[in-house]
Structure 1
């Protein structure tokens, strides 16, 4: 029987920050890979939550707009060390990517040589190994019967043939319905529930703040400076499903189309955001530094960063106590079982396209990524070691061939 481990008293705020700072420095590969890193570090190693609790967090964040991996990290920090833990998780996970993204953009021209291209290719191989490990582990844990395995396969096939912004959201919704119908589960045991330290009333207040801000930014116009930055990035964070790869084109319309940022500057930062660890939503900090405001670029960075993440975090905070109130019911358990199977199918589809299709170009790549997978799955090595392995092998191959 799994033990509940999400006690606020067990981990200090600084410990949460330190853990997520490490993740922020090493979590390459985008949101799907981030969720894999979180599971490896916080479920398997540190046991902050058990597999069932983690799968519930995944399901909740898949239903909400915003950056799913950052929302899961925020929720993990919240469950582990309260609101300060949630904030420290956000800062720890995001700060490295903010610093690296701005620095990376300045050195991007120097990474156009063979060694730079090989290093970036190595990071893609890291993503293959990490996501393969996560998909396999979650498949075994979350899909123990033929019904859920078939649901996972159906979702994976659907997403491989239907390329749409809303397809993942639709898959999660269908997974919930199929779970209620087909995945008959016992009521959620007490040790598997997600326990938050605040009431549904406070959650409703958070949702009210989210709604008021969204209406204000959608209806009020004609302002300049910091208000414009807050408006652009809050709307992007509140209305986008699918994470960083979807929000970047939306931001391009908002900042390039309005002349706030040049197209060449945007493309340079867009390229950099594909190679950094941590959340792709940190791209907002890069754009905030470029948008001219009287108060200076530092405040532009701060406002852009806070307002693109804020709506997703408000929604997570609002959803958790509501989920706590219904999660013990058998219908909710059935729905989550179906959603978990759908999420595994989503991860499997993303693992194939675009991760495998963009990273694997030779048998050598297969061997390097395969050894990285074995290091994670069977020898339980640190993902950081896999990062060094894949980059070194990629650069070595480029040097000789």
Structure 2
């Protein structure tokens, strides 16, 4: 059974601080604005929606109490529609879309909305204070370590140099700044309130990036119990990491009868796990898996949105897979525009569809990864 994407939109991203451009919004309001946009753009009638699935990592405070259900009620989706809130760390938004694809394919849903939301200005990183974050009853290799520390360890183990990371950070910032003047690459980005741009994008230079000191060495001391004496050679600066932002993304998923003119067909979706310590390698495993499912090679993919979780996995992607970089993250990525964790996968899918439209491309790929070895990937075929 073919599964289609009727539309996929994303919010602008605001800095995650009290005076950030989205900080006065609500998480359910951000998603509600995207539901309005999908309906206004002609992809759906909200009265036909029978499922809403949202990824959200920080499910406490403003994002607690089942944020998908709250959004369903506030957005006046049908009372009979189901609502699901999931947490798969930074792959949550793409996982939500994959679950919607599976539900439609299985006949459990006819028209689903799926994506994610994260407002880090209101619910900070690790605000849920999970016991696992400090639980020393696990074997050291299985204990939680923040993803920034995992990225720095991976850089050290794979000898990813600061120069490699800085070059990709500069590329991301430059492309993001240029994209602000390219309407085709912004076609599915939705203005929220008075914010009409991705607020974290900043002007920089190779010289400024090179002068920045390593930023995450202190995490090795804080999580020494999980490192079992392993020393860290800290390499990443804050410019090699995505800034914290607020944002949301949403896709309409359905079968052949759900849309008059769908934007894309889902070719394949895959998820996988990986070594918890080398957490950011799971995206590679998911990418390999989804390409095998689709029977496609990387050079057949016209546009790729590879999650810039940090510059380290992005550098390893360039080094080990040798993609045509003119096809990868053509409008910049998370290093420039920010990482609203639960929303990321859906934001990347929306960005991908715009990039495919702008290039008149056929096949597109999204790759997402997250802490403790979670990864997801999707391949779509553009139809319009």
Return the index of the structure with the highest Cα Rg: 1
For the criterion TM > 0.5, the same-fold answer is no
Greater strand share, structure number? 2
TM-score interval, smaller chain: under 0.3
Greater helix share, structure number? 1
Q: TM-score, normalised by structure 1?
A: 0.26
